[in-house]
Structure 1
Amino acid sequence: MLEHTDEANLLIVDDLPENLLALDALLKGPGIHVHQAESAEQALELLLRHEFALAILDVQMPGMDGFQLAELMRSTERTKQIPIVFVSAAGRELDYAFKGYESGAVDFMQKPLDTHAVRSKVSVFVDLYRNRKRLARQLEELERSRREQEVLLDELRSTKVELENAVRMRDDFMSIVSHELKTPLNTLILEVQLRKLQLGRKNLAAFSDDKLQQMVDKDERQIQSLIRLIDDMLDVSRIRTGKLSIRPTQVDLGKLVASVVENFAPQMEASGCTLLFQRPEPVIGLWDEFRIEQVLANLLTNAMRYGAGKPVQVNVSTTAAGACIEVRDHGIGISQKSLARIFCQFERAEGSESSAGLGLGLFIAEQIIKAHSGRIQVESEEGKGALFRVLLPLNAGA
């Protein structure tokens, strides 16, 4: 059963209006639109505006005849595929049919026209046109489907890579976590066993005031180390679920940084690093004091860890855009390769003698600064230390 989903345009060209009317009445049907032209020039205008399933041309016309029009159509990319049927009242002895086929015609009809033959031939060309359009749509749909499948395949490949990376990161994370948690725990266990041994021997001299204070200080450092590791893991979980929040209050950044530097001074001294800091004029803004302290602690820990026992400088200043904290060390520096991923999860500096830490500090620090609508930057070369710069708007609480 024929579906008229594609309207078929037919072009009829004849210099006699009565012939056009008769042919129009003969060809009209469901899904068929007939366009009339009384000259080759009018036909060319219609050919530029419409797509035709068939062109029926009268051979004998004043000016440009049907053969000349056919040759023009065959020489133009837009119209060269349109089937052409010639109509002529001339006798067969003029051999018009042969010339018509030479001009690119697919058929030749003599006047007077046979109604049944004309309708049958036109029906064949209309069906061919509709089938061609249907096939073109199917090919287009297949091509679209192919492109969509390629996109899906690319997405699946990308997802596969992401999943593989996630599995690798999970395995790396579990390996690092187990190692990092065991280090302070093993120290605590050894200390407990040693004290138990001393108590078993009744050696109370091992628990003099000085030695007891050293034990407590050592225990506190190991416990703080465990707490810091656990806090880092919790912060990563909050970041991943979008639940990392800041609670801004009015803070003097200079005073806050001075407090953190003072707390770190003993650790820096123990690692052989001199901590250089000159307290600035008050720098007042709206920030989450605890979170900014956390960022600075991470930066100072890195400077101490990778500073090779050289001085560490801390500066606080104001800029046109807000406040600035800088932490500079003169240690092993960071390679260009590492700079590109230093703020990623589980990344740690290459070439460090110490591999302590989960590799989460800078990742968490950057997320905290972003939550304050700020930026954290790093400048470094291998062997020439590193400069971390934190830029904060004064009114991050807004």
Structure 2
Amino acid sequence: MLSHTIAKLLIVDDLPENLLALDALIQGPDREVHQALSAEQALSLLLEHEFALAILDVQMPGMNGFELAELMRGTEKTRNIPIVFVSAAGREMNYAFKGYESGAVDFLHKPLDTLAVKSKVSVFVDLFRQRKALDRQLQDLERSRAEQEKLLAQLQTARGELEHAVRMRDDFMSIVSHEVRTPLNGLILEAQLRRMHLSRGNLAAFSEDKLRAMVERDERQINSLIRLVEDMLDVSRIRTGKLSIRPKAFDLAQLVKGLVANFAAQAGALDTYIELTQCEALQGEWDEFRIEQVLANLLSNALRYGDRKPVQVRVFEEGGMACVQVKDSGIGISAHNQQRIFQQFERVAAHQASGGLGLGLYISEQIVLAHGGRIQVDSAEGQGSTFSVYLPRPVLLQQSDQAQATSV
């Protein structure tokens, strides 16, 4: 490592022959010698290069070696360059002291001792190379420290995500256990009740009306279990990228009309109703089963959280997109919770008692995104909520609708 470091040396003297002699004396394969005939020329070189050593002649016309040294010590870039003075003057102590006060690390007298010069220059070159090697090591250590800090931050993030995933798993298992237990308990109680009637010979308990009520209760519990299983399967499909979308041509308005009719009984049980305030015929190619799944979830939520007030539904075209809006006048959703409701297993705190896995809106958004559309919510606490589903429509279909409207 050290042998690959080139040390730059600066020699300053107003006599060219002195420069040539000193150059020949200190030259080497691992060194690069720069010559300057004046202090001004030396300053220019000092600003351009990084030197391992500066050898300055003291007695020069204009700015002398002492003055140049003082300038070097006052400049950030050159402050730490070792300076060796060369002088033909006598060895008076006061003269040498002046050199050391100017920042010199050594003082040479002419005529120069060849071995002493070579030895001293070699020492400073080795010190320079060792310092550069140490600088590189410090830089490597700093990079290593920065990388370790980055890795530690990543590990902490991963740990946080893992802890969050574990909490989600535990919460999910708790929710699933509760949600599955509810319909199963209903089915178990029904079975035990029927077994008791049979064991007592109470066949009157199995009249046509009572059997019909039993079957309806069974169907509700079984459908609840099927819904839970399908939700979990859909999440698995979404995570593995296997959520299939099978588009086919159909009228979105007809699908919405059918859903509103199907939910009429559920709304009536809550002493409210669903109002279809606008319903434009909108042909498009979407996965009818999946879009029905999305809209059924929105209607179910609107009735569940709508505070037993009417739910309004609109079907219309906007900006080249088919849009279905479901609006309730219920408890509403805070701005903070609006960021959460489309995440997995998220149920707004005020709604915890409502049941469900907290997957409906997550699955709905993923289905809409898979169609190239979007789903958005406009809500405020105590002011109800409006969910809007936007689905892209092919240009040809839009032109066909416009042509039909013109002919009518």
Taking structure 2 as the reference length, the TM-score comes to 0.92
Structure 2, unaligned runs of 5 or more: 396-408
Q: Return the alpha-carbon distance in structure 2 between the equivalents of residues 197 and 95 of structure 1.
A: 122
Contact 2:272 2:308 in 1 (8 A): yes
Q: Does 1:162 align with 2:161?
A: yes
Q: Does 1:34 align with 2:33?
A: yes
- 1:118 is matched with 117
Give the SS at the match of 2:4: coil
- 2:311 is matched with 312
Deviation at 1:125, TM superposition (A): 0.8
Question: Percentage identity across aligned positions?
Answer: 67
**Equivalences for 1:205-354 in 2 at 5 Å?**
205-278=204-277, 280-352=279-351, 354=353
- 1:374 is matched with 373
Q: Residues 189, 279 of structure 1: CA spacing in aligned structure 2 closer, same or farther, 3 A cutoff?
A: farther
Deviation at 1:11, TM superposition (A): 0.5
Q: Residues 94, 307 of structure 1: CA spacing in aligned structure 2 closer, same or farther, 3 A cutoff?
A: closer
Deviation at 1:321, TM superposition (A): 4.1
Contact 1:4 1:30 in 2 (8 A): no
Give the SS at the match of 1:138: helix
Larger mean Cα displacement after TM superposition, 204-213 or 219-228 = 204-213
Deviation at 1:309, TM superposition (A): 1.2
Q: Return the alpha-carbon distance in structure 2 between the equivalents of residues 297 and 237 of structure 1.
A: 20
| AA partner of residue 345 (structure 1) | Q
Larger mean Cα displacement after TM superposition, 277-286 or 167-176 = 277-286
Q: Return the alpha-carbon distance in structure 1 between the equivalents of residues 381 and 95 of structure 2.
A: 89
Q: Return the alpha-carbon distance in structure 1 between the equivalents of residues 151 and 342 of structure 2.
A: 30
Q: Does 1:85 align with 2:84?
A: yes
Deviation at 1:278, TM superposition (A): 4.0
Q: Residues 239, 384 of structure 1: CA spacing in aligned structure 2 closer, same or farther, 3 A cutoff?
A: same
Deviation at 1:285, TM superposition (A): 2.1
Q: Return the alpha-carbon distance in structure 2 between the equivalents of residues 141 and 216 of structure 1.
A: 75
Contact 1:258 1:279 in 2 (8 A): no
Give the SS at the match of 1:33: strand
1:276-313 deviations in whole A, cap 9, x for unaligned?
A: 11462211222221111111111111112111211111
Deviation at 1:202, TM superposition (A): 3.5
Taking structure 1 as the reference length, the TM-score comes to 0.94
Give the SS at the match of 2:210: helix
- 1:13 is matched with 12
Contact 2:278 2:313 in 1 (8 A): no
Larger mean Cα displacement after TM superposition, 210-219 or 227-236 = 210-219
Contact 1:273 1:307 in 2 (8 A): no
Contact 1:58 1:86 in 2 (8 A): yes
Give the SS at the match of 1:388: strand
Give the SS at the match of 1:351: helix
**Equivalences for 1:96-115 in 2 at 5 Å?**
96-115=95-114
Q: Return the alpha-carbon distance in structure 2 between the equivalents of residues 232 and 297 of structure 1.
A: 13
Contact 1:86 1:107 in 2 (8 A): yes
RMSD of the alignment, in Å? 1.9
Deviation at 1:359, TM superposition (A): 0.7
| AA partner of residue 163 (structure 2) | E
The count of corresponding residues between Structure 1 and Structure 2 is: 395
Structure 1, unaligned runs of 5 or more: none
